Chain A
Amino acid sequence: MKARAVKGIVVKDLRETRRDRMAVFWIFVFPLMWVTLLGAIWGGSSPPVVVHVGAVYFNESAPFTASTLIGIMENVSVDGQKVFRITRYPDESAGLEAVKAGRIDVLLVFPRGFGKNVSSGLQGKVYAYFDRSDPQKYQIASGVVKGFFSEFEREMAYRKLNITLGYVEAYFPKNLSANFSPSMVRAYLVGMMDPIDLKEEAVTGERPSPIKFYVTSFIGIQFLFATMLTVSNLLFEEIEKGTLRRIAASPATAWDFLVGKMLSTFIVITASILIGVVYSKAVFKETVFPGPTGWLIIALSAVFSMSLGLAIAMGTRSMKATNALVNLISMPLLFLAAIVIPESILPRWARPIADYFPLGTALKDLRLLEIYHRPPSEVFPDVAWIAINSLLMLLIAVLLYNWAIKRLQ
């Protein structure tokens, strides 16, 4: 390999890129836009869940009524934030209209006699109508509402138990064995009523930050999409200008040319990545700065992506066709390879793409390393997989380059 020829190609490409306003926009302004936009949307902590509840009930004169229960619901709060937002409806049909229109997540209908039954120690019936058009929203609303009722029932049961135990203690026979006491009866009844005593303890674990997630997405976009597009355009400019024939006729080899093109692209994209990373730190106080293994993964993935871009450019016959094909390949992959969205929300059929497509693997590993702080040894088998694929793709690019040169002649 001729180092001076490679250097010449790199320096020339960097100079051209620096003077191309569109390139400067994509490389230096786009990262700032991306990080700002996603940081503003997803940054910060997630707000607590609020469930919109509709209530239909009748006025009663019992000690405990549906109105009392709704009042308790209205005051339930987590971290100072009210959990239920209650809207009262005059009848069931008005409430159901509100559910169908998506104005409330659930409608609770308390039939006449609810207060009287509950106050008398009998069972009170409640009808809950959930909006099930959005499964995720339904799961949250159903979980929160049922959780509230479960807790409410437990509280009522304890109160009834205490009243009952008061009578038990008052009338408990004194001549029974020492092994059978009121406290034992109480423990038995509590165990029957509430067989598992779940103690909730707060543990502050490592929560993946949305900002960090989207900084890695940005890195993924740059080394999947931007490198592929940049390198293929750089090559096509040489073909259309007629300078590729000249370069091919010079002492520079195919490897010199391809390595030069890839290095210049990688330098430009690395600069862009660094701008995005530093900007995120400056504005959102959070960022991801890849470690050595992270950079190794980025470099290998960039080789794969650039080789793919070069192969596409040399297989097509115009810059327009190249751009169209690069977009056609990279745009779906940004999603299907879980580069801009979490893998957990991918449909089952798309999971293998995220797991085995080298760039999907690369981003998954980058996140494991930089967001979840897993040890590098955990991702080494994947790094080997990415390296093998990158080398194969590079060989394909070199073969296609030689073929393209022959075609040009």
Chain B
Amino acid sequence: MRAIEVRGLRKGYGDFIALNGIDLDVDEGEVFALLGPNGAGKTTLIRILAEGLSYDSGEIRVFGEPLSKKTARLIGYAPQESLAYDDLTVRENLEFYANLYDVPGKRVDELIERFKLPAKKKAKELSGGFKKRLNLAVALLYDPKILVLDEPSTGLDVPSKRELWELIKEFREEGKTVLLATHYMEEAEALADRVAIMNEGKVIAVGTPEELKGLAGNESVIHVEGILRGTEAILREFRAIERENVLRVSVEDARKALPKVVEALVEGGSEIRSIRIEEPTLEDVFLKLTGRGLE
């Protein structure tokens, strides 16, 4: 069954068009990722679904029913920013939301135990990881069928990120539908059954990570790490992304292109630490589809 159906959704803020005719289907029980750079329209789409943000036109159904305050109860939402009140303890924060949603008090205890939250600690004393967990606990208070997560791992260190991913996998195992918005392609690859790539308010491709990588065709990626100089020529000649001492060059024939890439870097005075040929990632697909990187 379709958990979420979106048809022709449009939303603008004055002259700026945030969503430009979105069509999307999310199946029950799957983890569905919205992948795109900042400003692609992911958060707007999520806020329409989870916070009742108004939209200009289009249709949204949740488990076959039009989106309303009633169906919103089927959706639990963990936004990017913390929902916690700093001066309240973890338990008091959960109790507040439990009162708003008329959820029995014992559910608060269950969630504190499940997410191993420090019940008596004030929210302002929590680490980033625990704040995200508290957001998740709030989202799950009324046991929704769909969990919507906006940039869940932004700001987390690697161990906290891994722990969070494990929790998201648990939700899927419990049969919940998870819709997550991210601009980290590794997060989408690690968690999502299907991914929608968004850019400038449009969904430009949908499929499993493997299907999407197939859009890159026979291409492979030359991945170079080191202190890189003289990359301008490469960025002009090839489809490439440069970020934090890493250069990824998408090419049809790696064996032909590799000498040219290395020559350009050496001439530019680069100190190359490693070079390898890789399969394309979702970011490379995004690059192929839009001509720019995800960040």
A residues with CB within 8 A of B: 2, 4-5, 7-9, 11-12, 15-16, 19-20, 241-243, 245-252, 406, 409
Contact across chains for B50 and A251 when beta carbons are under 8 A apart: no
Contact across chains for A243 and B83 when beta carbons are under 8 A apart: yes
Contact across chains for A242 and B52 when beta carbons are under 8 A apart: no
> Which B residues are CB-close (under 8 A) to A246?
51, 77, 79, 83
17 contacts between A and B (CB under 8 A): A4-B102, A5-B100, A7-B99, A8-B96, A11-B96, A11-B99, A12-B96, A15-B87, A15-B88, A242-B79, A246-B51, A246-B83, A248-B52, A249-B77, A251-B69, A409-B51, A409-B54
Which residue from A16, A242, A247 sits with its C-beta under 8 Å from B100? A247
Chain B residue nearest in CB terms to A252 = B100
CA distance A254 to B73 in the complex (A): 18
Chain B residue nearest in CB terms to A20 = B87
Contact across chains for A8 and B95 when beta carbons are under 8 A apart: yes
Chain A residue nearest in CB terms to B69 = A251
Question: Which residues, 31 to 80 on B, are CB-close (under 8 Å) to A?
Answer: 47, 50-54, 69, 72-73, 77, 79
CA distance A409 to B96 in the complex (A): 23
User: Does B92 reach chain A (CB closer than 8 Å)?
Assistant: yes
Chain A residue nearest in CB terms to B89 = A15
CA distance A222 to B249 in the complex (A): 68
Contact across chains for A251 and B53 when beta carbons are under 8 A apart: no
B residues with CB within 8 A of A: 47, 50-54, 69, 72-73, 77, 79, 81, 83, 85, 87-88, 92, 95-102
Given contacts A248-B52, A251-B69, contact A12 B102 (CB under 8 A): no
CA distance A257 to B98 in the complex (A): 15
Given A12-B85, A19-B87, A245-B51, 9 other A-B contacts at CB below 8 A?
Answer: A8-B97, A9-B96, A12-B92, A242-B79, A246-B51, A249-B51, A409-B51, A409-B53, A409-B54
> Which A residues are CB-close (under 8 A) to B47?
245, 409
Chain A residue nearest in CB terms to B85 = A16
Most chain A beta-carbon contacts within 10 A, residue among B51, B79, B88, B99: B99
Which residue from B50, B69, B73, B88 sits with its C-beta under 8 Å from A12? B88
Which residue from A4, A16, A243, A249 sits with its C-beta under 8 Å from B99? A4
> Which A residues are CB-close (under 8 A) to B52?
248-249, 409
Contact across chains for A249 and B50 when beta carbons are under 8 A apart: yes
| Distance between A16 CB and nearest chain B CB, rounded to angstroms | 5
| Distance between A315 CB and nearest chain B CB, rounded to angstroms | 20
| Distance between A14 CB and nearest chain B CB, rounded to angstroms | 11
> Which A residues are CB-close (under 8 A) to B73?
251
> Which B residues are CB-close (under 8 A) to A409?
47, 51-54
> Which B residues are CB-close (under 8 A) to A19?
87
Judged by DSSP, the binding face of A is helix
CA distance A5 to B100 in the complex (A): 4
> Which B residues are CB-close (under 8 A) to A9?
96, 99-100
> Which A residues are CB-close (under 8 A) to B83?
242-243, 246
Chain A residue nearest in CB terms to B70 = A251
Contact across chains for A16 and B87 when beta carbons are under 8 A apart: yes
Contact across chains for A5 and B102 when beta carbons are under 8 A apart: yes
> Which A residues are CB-close (under 8 A) to B98?
8
CA distance A389 to B52 in the complex (A): 33
| Distance between A21 CB and nearest chain B CB, rounded to angstroms | 10
> Which A residues are CB-close (under 8 A) to B81?
242
Contact across chains for B79 and A251 when beta carbons are under 8 A apart: no
Contact across chains for B92 and A15 when beta carbons are under 8 A apart: yes
> Which A residues are CB-close (under 8 A) to B72?
249
Which residue from B88, B95, B101 sits with its C-beta under 8 Å from A250? B101
| Distance between B14 CB and nearest chain A CB, rounded to angstroms | 13
Contact across chains for B88 and A251 when beta carbons are under 8 A apart: no
CA distance A20 to B86 in the complex (A): 11
Contact across chains for A8 and B85 when beta carbons are under 8 A apart: no
| Distance between A267 CB and nearest chain B CB, rounded to angstroms | 16
| Distance between A319 CB and nearest chain B CB, rounded to angstroms | 16
> Which B residues are CB-close (under 8 A) to A15?
87-88, 92
> Which A residues are CB-close (under 8 A) to B101?
250-251
> Which A residues are CB-close (under 8 A) to B88?
12, 15-16
> Which B residues are CB-close (under 8 A) to A252?
100
Most chain B beta-carbon contacts within 10 A, residue among A4, A15, A250: A250
Chain A residue nearest in CB terms to B50 = A249
> Which A residues are CB-close (under 8 A) to B79?
242, 246
CA distance A246 to B88 in the complex (A): 17
| Distance between B100 CB and nearest chain A CB, rounded to angstroms | 4
> Which B residues are CB-close (under 8 A) to A242?
79, 81, 83
> Which A residues are CB-close (under 8 A) to B77?
246, 249
Given contacts A15-B92, A409-B52, A409-B54, contact A250 B100 (CB under 8 A): yes
CA distance A248 to B73 in the complex (A): 13
> Which A residues are CB-close (under 8 A) to B96?
8-9, 11-12
Chain A residue nearest in CB terms to B55 = A409
> Which B residues are CB-close (under 8 A) to A16?
85, 87-88
| Distance between B3 CB and nearest chain A CB, rounded to angstroms | 18
CA distance A9 to B79 in the complex (A): 21
CA distance A246 to B73 in the complex (A): 12
Contact across chains for B100 and A251 when beta carbons are under 8 A apart: yes
| Distance between A301 CB and nearest chain B CB, rounded to angstroms | 29
